[in-house]
Amino acid sequence: MLKIDDLHATVADKPILKGLTLALNPGEIHAIMGPNGAGKSTLAYTLGGRPGYEVTGGTATLDGADLLDMEPHERAAAGLFLGFQYPVEIPGVSNLQFLRESLNSQKRARGEKELNGGEFIRLAKEKAALLGLDMEMLKRPVNVGFSGGEKKRAEMVQMGILDPKLAILDETDSGLDIDALKVVGAGINAIMRKSDKAVLLITHYQRLLDYVKPDFVHVLAGGRIVKSGGAELALELEREGYAEVVAA
Amino acid sequence: MNALALPTRKDEDWRYSDVEAVASIWPTPAPTRIDVAAGEAARHHLLQDAADGAAAVHDYVITIADGARCDFHVLNIGGKLGRVTFHVTIGSHAHFELNGAILGGGDQTLEIITSVTHAKPDSTSGQTIRSILGGRATGSYLGSINVARDAQRTDAFQSVKAMLLDRTATANAKPELEIFADDVKCAHGATVGELDKAALFYMASRGMDPATAKTLLLRSFVAGVFDDVADDAVRQALEAAAIAKLEALV
């Protein structure tokens, strides 16, 4: 589904990704772990197409389509969802308005029928209930006044409504207490653990992986994948630290 | 000053204006007079939507008697030059409220000029102006608040925010205070900004196409300006004209 080959990227002319290669098949959940500054967030933003993240070499395709050649909104329409470590606040735009415009933009781009107001509200209610988010929250401006946990829950509701093929979740576990972590983990499983979907979890800690069990774990260091393994690798990292595992 | 003399850019009120465009319609029509009698409440609005290339000047002279109030909503979007001016005199325990939006593109020059005089004690005024400017457009708000010597306990505010869509567009915001009383509250704030790039990327990452995302952010920027228009039909007309103009700008 996602194929990244020898990806190089710079931020403000500084090389961050230095030949990263990774492949995800449908039905798989991969976790990328790594020390601070390894390039974890850069990988997420580069795949999402954030301005300022410049690809200087390599390829990335989503179901065979060249991801790097698409505008950010086209990547979303192609099935990519990027979960933000720090979800952005948008005063004056309600979550419902934001999500309906987003979903219908995607549907227009794919030549599908747009949802009308009633259909959209039903979908939003269903997904909000799944994540235990009060519908009233969705009437409020995007992320404005939300706690850290509420922002991440709202992101998962967005993911549920937009129903992507591939989710890249950047430090979705940061700022969550244990209860919120459980809810978010259950949400990821309910929405994304399907034979035709895949997830790339980017995380610093192993604790989210207690709730979302990865099929593969990769260690990112110095802009490249330096080690790959199964779920047990995350536990090893937690126990021994990155330096030990990377050196071994 | 000879009222019939064509203004030049040396005149303070015309400093940022398009004096060539105004020459084509000079002399401009006499001001519209609005007198709000003691204890009355008046509501007025103006949708300035002159044809492309035209010049339009609307001058208002408003007198608000003791205990009265006047609410004015203005949407300034049309013509090569669109200029709306207000000379307001407020009595005791009286209030003037101006809510305005300036939306311009191309080579438009759009202006709102106000001179609000608090002539007597215990009067209040509020002015909220939101401008969105693209292309080589110029949008200006020049607003002076004058508080007379015995107009104690005057409470006045000016809130002016402008959003530039292109580096070639210009926003001028010049709130001015002239205060001769000593027990007075006058607040003013002016900001000029651009669309929030982080918000635009967040919206794009959810699939929203750039034009939809920009329009949504711009709508939220001017939202509220027409919220308290009492007449539903008027409010809807102003909002529809504003949205149509925004969609043409992005």
Q: Is residue B115 part of a domain?
A: yes
Contact criterion met (CB below 8 Å) for B149 and B120: no
Minimum CA–CA partner of A161 in chain B: B206
Mean pLDDT value of segment A124-146: 92
Asked whether the beta carbons of residue B220 and residue A93 sit closer than 8 angstroms, the reply is yes
Helix segments in chain B, DSSP class H: 19-23, 197-205, 210-222, 232-249
Q: Is residue B109 part of a domain?
A: yes
Contact criterion met (CB below 8 Å) for A53 and A9: yes
Q: What pLDDT, in 10s, does the model give residues B10-35?
A: 998 999 999 999 999 999 999 999 99
Distance of CA B247 to the CA centre of its chain: 20
Q: What pLDDT, in 10s, does the model give residues A42-99?
A: 999 999 999 999 999 999 999 999 999 999 999 999 999 999 999 999 988 999 999 9
Q: Which of B197, B206, B217 sits opposite A162 (nearest CB)?
A: B206
Mean pLDDT value of segment A114-132: 94
Structural domain harbouring B113 = 12-194
pLDDT tops 60 at residue A195: yes
Minimum CA–CA partner of B201 in chain A: A50
What's the CATH architecture for A2-247?
3-Layer(aba) Sandwich (3.40)
Contact criterion met (CB below 8 Å) for A237 and A205: no
- Its sign, for the CA torsion A25, A29, A30, A36, is positive
Say whether B239 sits in a helix, a strand or coil. helix
Q: What pLDDT, in 10s, does the model give residues A212-243?
A: 999 999 999 999 999 999 999 998 888 888 88
Q: Is residue B242 part of a domain?
A: no
Q: Is residue B249 part of a domain?
A: no
Say whether B3 sits in a helix, a strand or coil. coil
Cα distance between residue A122 and residue A100, in whole Å: 12
> Does residue A71 belong to the interface with chain B, where contact is any CB pair within 8 Å?
yes
Say whether B53 sits in a helix, a strand or coil. coil
Q: Is residue B232 part of a domain?
A: no
Most confident of A171-185, B60-74, B223-237: B60-74
Task: Determine the residue among A88, A103, A142, A146 to mutate to test chain B binding: the one whose Cβ has the most chain B Cβ atoms within 10 Å.
Answer: A88
Residue with the larger pLDDT of the pair A148 and B114? B114
Cα distance between residue B102 and residue B164, in whole Å: 12
Q: What is the DSSP string of A71-87?
A: -HHHHHHTTEEEE-SSP
Examine residue B27 and say whether the peptide bond preceding it is cis (omega within 30 degrees of 0): yes
**Based on the structure, what is the number of domains in chain B?**
1
State percent of chain B over pLDDT 70. 99
Whose tokens are 């790097």? That residue is: A68
Mean pLDDT value of segment A95-109: 97
Say whether B244 sits in a helix, a strand or coil. helix
Q: Which residues of A touch B220 (CB under 8 A)?
A: 90-93
Minimum CA–CA partner of A77 in chain B: B207
Cα distance between residue B177 and residue B148, in whole Å: 11
The phi and psi torsions of A99 (rounded to 5 degrees) equal -75, -35
- Closest C-alpha to B133, from B141, B145, B124, B122: B141
Q: What is the DSSP string of chain A?
A: -EEEEEEEEEETTEEEEEEEEEEE-TT-EEEEE--TTSSHHHHHHHHHT-TTEEEEEEEEEETTEEGGGS-HHHHHHTTEEEE-SSPPPEEEEEHHHHHHHHHHHHHHHHTPPPP-HHHHHHHHHHHHHHTT--HHHHHSEETTT--HHHHHHHHHHHHHHH--SEEEEESTTTT--HHHHHHHHHHHHHHH-STT-EEEEEESSSGGGGTS--SEEEEEETTEEEEEE-THHHHHHHHH-HHHHHH-
Asked whether the beta carbons of residue B199 and residue A88 sit closer than 8 angstroms, the reply is yes
Q: What pLDDT, in 10s, does the model give residues B47-64?
A: 999 999 999 999 999 999
pLDDT at A132: 84
The confidence band for B2, taking pLDDT boundaries of 50, 70 and 90, is very low
> Does residue A106 belong to the interface with chain B, where contact is any CB pair within 8 Å?
yes
Asked whether the beta carbons of residue B207 and residue A51 sit closer than 8 angstroms, the reply is no
Q: Is residue B250 part of a domain?
A: no
Q: Quote the DSSP letter at residue B132.
A: E
Whose tokens are 């015309």? That residue is: B14
What distance in Å separates residue A216's CA from the closest CA in chain B?
A: 26
What distance in Å separates residue A238's CA from the closest CA in chain B?
A: 32
pLDDT tops 90 at residue B118: yes
Q: What pLDDT, in 10s, does the model give residues B137-180?
A: 999 999 999 999 999 999 999 999 999 999 999 999 999 999 99
How large is the angle between the packed helices A117-130 and A95-110, nearest 10 degrees?
A: 110
Mean pLDDT value of segment A244-248: 73
Torsion, Cα B150 B153 B154 B159, to 10 degrees, reads 150
What's the angle, vertex CA B169, arms to CA B168 and CA B170, rounded to 5? 120
pLDDT tops 70 at residue A248: no
What distance in Å separates residue A109's CA from the closest CA in chain B?
A: 9
What's the angle, vertex CA B145, arms to CA B37 and CA B235, rounded to 5? 60
Q: A3-13 burial by CB neighbour count: b if 16+ within 10 A, else e?
A: bbeebbbbbee
Task: Determine the residue among B194, B209, B220 to mutate to test chain A binding: the one whose Cβ has the most chain A Cβ atoms within 10 Å.
Answer: B209
Q: Is residue B7 part of a domain?
A: no
State percent of chain A over pLDDT 90. 80
State percent of chain A over pLDDT 70. 100
Q: Is residue B213 part of a domain?
A: no
Q: Which of A89, A102, A162 sits opposite B203 (nearest CB)?
A: A102
Asked whether the beta carbons of residue A98 and residue B204 sit closer than 8 angstroms, the reply is no
Average pLDDT, chain B: 95
pLDDT tops 60 at residue B133: yes
Q: Which of A89, A101, A158 sits opposite B216 (nearest CB)?
A: A101
Put simply, the chain A residues between 114 and 173 with a CB less than 8 A from any chain B CB are: 142, 158, 162
Contact criterion met (CB below 8 Å) for A151 and A87: yes
Cα distance between residue A203 and residue A222, in whole Å: 16
Mean pLDDT value of segment B198-224: 94
Q: Which of B196, B205, B213 sits opposite A48 (nearest CB)?
A: B205
Both tokens of residue B20? Answer: 């060539």
What distance in Å separates residue B17's CA from the closest CA in chain A?
A: 32
